Structure 1
Amino acid sequence: MGSGMSASQLISHLRTEGVATIARRGSRRLFEALGERLAWSEFDFPLREEDIMDSSALAPAAPRTNKADRLHIGWVCMPPGAGSGGHTTLFRMVQGLEERGHRCTLFLYDRYADDVARHEEVIRRHWPGLRADVRSATTGMDDVDAVVASSWATAHVVAARAHPSAHRFYFIQDYEPFFYPRGTLYALAEDTYRFGFTNIALGNMIAGVMESEVGRAPEAIVPFGVDTDVYRILPEFEKVPRSGVVFYAKKSVDRRGYLLAKLALERFHQTHPEQEIHVYGDHVSGWSIPVADHGNLSPRQLNELYNRTIAGLAISFTNISLVPEELMCAGNIPVLNESAYSRAVLSTDDAVWALPTPWCIADALAAAVEAPDVDARAARVAASERLDWEVTKKQIVSTIESACAASVVGSRAR
C-alpha cells in the first residue's frame, strides 16, 4: 500500500483482503524496516570479530604432549539450553573420557560475556551426571593437552584461542554449512573442515558430504547410539492399546521441518480425528486442529509418551536426529521425510518414509496408525538390536588417545 492510496482504494483492500491480512502485511514491513535499521543479523552472528579464522592463514601446530594416559581435555561449546540434543550427545562423549580417567573441562563460548556462571547453572541442573569443570573459552585454554570443537563456530574459537601445543579435534554432529543459505555463514562454516583438526564425524552422512563438498574425509567416523536405559518398552503400558501420534517441534530450526509438519498433521487430522496429536519441545499455537501441547519433557517422560502412541513424526533435512531410534526403542514407528542423508544413517524396514510434502507425510502417518497389528509390531520393533552410546564413546576415546599418543599431528594453529 503506497502513501498515495485513496480512501476508496483502502476500503476496497479491506473488503477483498481483510483487516487481519493487511495488518500482518504492515507488521511484516515494520519488522523488516526495524531489522534493517538495527542490523539484527549481526546479533545472530555467533563469533566475536577477533575469533574469525581463515584456514589459509593457519600455521602447523606443535603438540607438546605425546601421551594417552591422564589427559586434560577441553571441550568447547556454545552455552546449552535445557534439553538440547546436540549438547546431550556431546556431554555423553565427555563422560566417556571422564570414565576413562581423563580430566575434562567445558569451555563455554559466549560472544557477549566472559562470565559463564549462569550457563553453568543450566548444565548442572539438566546434566547432573557431568563432572567436568566449566570455564569461559574467552579467558584462556592454555592448560589443556587436547581441545575439542563441537560446532563450526567453536572450531573458529579453537583455531583462534587454543594454545599451539594442544592437540585439536572437531566432533562433527552435522554438516553445518547446510544450516544457512549460501553466503557468509555458509562459507565460514565450510572453511572449518579445512582447519586441519582431527575430524570425528557422527555417522556416515557427514563423511560423504564432506568428501563431496570440500574434498576431505574425516579422520574417524563414529556411529549413532541410543540410550537404551531410558528408551524402552515399559511393562505398565504393554496392555494399554496405543493411540495417537507425536511430533518434536523446533520452530526456530527450519531443517527440522516445523511448518511442513504442522501442515501435514493438520491434514492427517482431517482423515483421523480420533488420533490425538501430541507435540513436545517448543510450545505451539495458531494450529487449526486440537493438539496436546506438552512443552519440554524429560527423557523419561518422553519415553512414556512414546510408549502410549503409535507413530512419531521425525523430520530432518540434514543429518538424522536422535528421535527415530529413540521412538523405535519404545515400539513407536518413526515417519521420516525421504532423504538420502537420513538413509545413510538409518537402515531399517521399520521406519516409514515419505516425500517431504504435507500430503505424502499425512498419508504415511495414516498408514502407520491404520496397520492391523499395531501392538505386535511395536513389540517386534522394540526388540530389534541397537547400538547404545557406549560403542560411540569407546571409539571417541580411542581416537583421541591414539592421536595424542602419536608423535606427529597434522593440525594447524594460528
Structure 2
Amino acid sequence: MQGKIDVFRHYETLLGEEQGHGIKISAENVPAGSMTWLVPDFSASSGGHINILRFMALLKGLGFPEQRLVVAEPHRWRSAAEAQAALNASFGDQGITVSLGARSIEPSQYLVATGWQTAYWVSKYRDAGCRLYFVQDFEPAFYAHGTEYALAENTYKLGLTGITAGSWLADKLRIDYGMRAIDFSFACDLDLYRPYGRRPNKTRHIFFYARPVTPRRCFEMGLLALKRVCDQMPDTAVIFAGWDVSGYQIPFHHLNAGTLAVSSLPELYSQCDVGLILSSTNLSLLPLEMAACGCPLVINRGPNASWLMSEEEVYYCDLEVDSIAETIMEALRNSEETAKRAALALRRAKRVSWKAEAEKISTFLREIG
C-alpha cells in the first residue's frame, strides 16, 4: 500500500547479508596489503570522509598499495565512473579505486567498516583476511535510546578490530565491549593551518564552532554561555561558524559566518582572542587546527574531550553554562596566562603529523595481517 513506511527495506539493508566463499586469504589469491574500505555516501565537506581518504592515501605509500573505496547504499551516483570522478575532484586523484554497493566488495587482505551502517556488511563478508572497524566517534550517541542507538551499539560486538580516532574511543571499546582496538591521534595540515598576523581591533572576538544541526556540539548551551559573557564584557563579539545561525535570536554583537571554505579558516582563527569548542562525544579536528593558528582555546572537560591536549595548553570548562561562561571570561581577562597556553598548544600542533599516525597504523596492520 502506497504511503506506508517500509521498515524492512531500510533496516534489513543496514543489517547486511552473508557474502563470499570463505577462501583462505594469501598472497597467491589477493594482492598483499590490499585494503577495501566500505563507506557511507561521501561529500567533499564530510570531515569523516576526509579522514578516511587521508589514511587511505598515506597507507598506500606505506606498503598497502591497493586501496579500494566501496560506497554503500543508499548513494546518489549513477555509475562508479561518476563517483570516481567526484572523488578525484573533491579529494585529489590518489589512485584509489571506487565501486558502488556493498555487494561489489571483492576479496582483500583487509576489509574496513567505517560508519556503523557499514559494519554489519563487513562482519558478514567471508573473503577478507582481517575485518576492521575505523571508528571516529561513539555513534550510538547520535540517536535517542531506541532502535538506531541499539543497532549502532551492537556493531561493537561483531568481533571487528577497531582503529579509533583517539584514545578515549579505544579505551571505551575495549572496556565496554571487549573489542581489540588501536588508536591514532590527531594532527593537522601545517601548510594550511598557521598563525596570521593579528589586525588591531578594540573588540575582542570569540570564535564558536556552531553546529545546531549536530546536537553533540552543544550549540544551545554555548549560546547561553556566550550571552552571559557578552552581557558582562560588552566590548566582546562572537563569530559563529560551522552553520548558518541566522534563524536564531542572538541578542549580542556577533557575526554569522556560516559554512566557510577551509582555505579561509586559518586567518579567521588567527584574529580571535579565544575559541570555544564543545562536544558531548569525541573531539573534532578543530582544536588542533585552531591551536596551529595561535588561537587560545576553551574546551569542555571530560575523557571524551580532554584526551588530546593538556591543562597547560588549553582552558577546560565543565559542560554547563556557568562554567563555560566563567572560563571564557577568565581566558579573556588573563591575557598573559592565555598567551602562554596558546604558545604551548601551538608547539604541540607543530610536533604532530598525520604521516606518523599512519605509520603507527601500518605497523599494527602488519602485526595482525
Say whether the fold is shared (TM-score over 0.5): yes
User: Structure 2 CA distance, aligned partners of 1:212 and 1:135?
Assistant: 35
Structure 1 residue 284: Cα displacement: 0.9
1:222 aligns with 2:187: no
Please state whether the residue corresponding to 2:351 is helix, strand or coil.
coil
Please list every run of 5 or more consecutive structure 2 residues that lacks an aligned counterpart in the other structure: none
1:228 & 1:38 partners in 2: Cα distance? 51
Do structure 1's residue 347 and structure 2's residue 310 form an aligned pair?
yes
SS of 1:134 mapped into structure 2 = strand
2:323 pairs with one of 360, 363, 367:
360
Instruction: Check the 8 A contact 1:205/1:345 in 2, yes or no.
Output: no
Deviation, 1:334, is: 1.5
| Structure 1 match to 2:137 | 174
1:200 and 2:163 equivalent?
yes
8 A Cα contact 1:175 1:318, kept in partner: yes
Shift of 1:210: 1.7
Match of 1:266 among 216, 227, 235: 227
Question: 1:61/1:174 Cα in 2 relative to 1: closer, same or farther (>3 Å)?
Answer: farther
CA distance in 2, matches of 1:313, 1:276: 13
**How far apart are 1:356 and its partner, in Å?**
1.6
Cα distance in 2 for residues equivalent to 1:239 and 1:291: 18
- Tell me which of 33, 39, 46 is aligned to 1:77: 39
Aligned residue for 1:397? 362
Report the Cα offset of residue 114 of structure 1: 6.8
SS in 1 for 2:359: helix
Query: Aligned ranges for residues 184-263 of structure 1 at < 5 Å?
Result: 184-214=147-177, 216-234=178-196, 237=197, 240=200, 243-263=204-224
Kindly state the Cα deviation for residue 315 of structure 1 after the two structures are TM-superposed.
0.6
Distance apart, 1:239 and its partner CA? 6.7
Question: Secondary structure at 1:276's aligned position in 2?
Answer: strand
Residues in 1 aligned to 2:39 and 2:366: alpha-carbon distance in whole angstroms: 21
Structure 1 residues 232 and 393: alpha-carbon distance in aligned structure 2, compared to 1, 3 A threshold:
same
Report the 3-state secondary structure (helix = DSSP H, G, I; strand = E; otherwise coil) of the residue aligned with 1:190: helix
Per-residue CA deviation, residues 182-207 of structure 1 (Å, 9 max, x unaligned), is 22222211221222222222211012
For residues 398 and 320 of structure 1, what CA distance do their matches in structure 2 show? Answer: 25
* Structure number, greater radius of gyration: 1
Contact 2:209 2:240 in 1 (8 A): yes
Corresponding residue SS for 1:145: strand
Q: Could you tell me how far 1:70 is from its partner in structure 2?
A: 4.7
Aligned partners of 1:231, 1:121: CA distance in 2, in Å? 28
CA pair 66-301 structure 1, distance change in 2 beyond 3 A: same
Match of 2:245 among 262, 274, 284: 284
User: How far 1:116 sits from its partner (Å)?
Assistant: 5.8
Give the aligned partner of residue 412 of structure 1. Answer: none
SS in 1 for 2:108: coil
Q: Does the Cα contact within 8 Å between 1:243 and 1:276 map onto a contact in 2? A: yes
Q: Distance in 2 between matches of 1:109 and 1:79?
A: 6
Report the TM-score when normalising by structure 2: 0.85
Q: Given the alignment, which residue of 359, 365, 369 partners 2:332?
A: 369
Q: Deviations over 1:23-79 (max 9, x none)?
A: xxxxxxxxxxxxxx9759x6xx9955144159xx99996551259975331111112
Query: Which residue, out of 278, 281, 297, partners 1:334?
Result: 297
Q: Is the 8 A contact 1:146 1:166 kept in 2?
A: yes
List per-residue Cα deviations over 1:217-263 (Å, max 9, x = no partner). 433222222322322223xx157569411122222221111121222
Q: How well do the aligned residues superpose, as a CA RMSD in angstroms?
A: 3.2
How does the TM-score come out when normalised to structure 1?
0.76
Q: Describe the shift of the 1:217–1:344 C-alpha distance in structure 2 as closer, same or farther (beyond 3 A).
A: farther
Offset, 1:140? 0.9
Structure 2 residue identity aligned to 1:402: E
Q: Which moved more, 1:186-195 or 1:129-138?
A: 129-138
Would you tell me which structure has more helix in proportion to its own residues? Answer: 1
| Percent identical residues | 25
Closer, same or farther in 2 for the Cα pair 1:388/1:304, shift >3 Å?
Answer: same
Indicate how the Cα distance of structure 1 residues 180 and 386 shifts in structure 2: closer, same or farther if over 3 A, else same.
farther
Q: How many pairs are equivalent?
A: 359
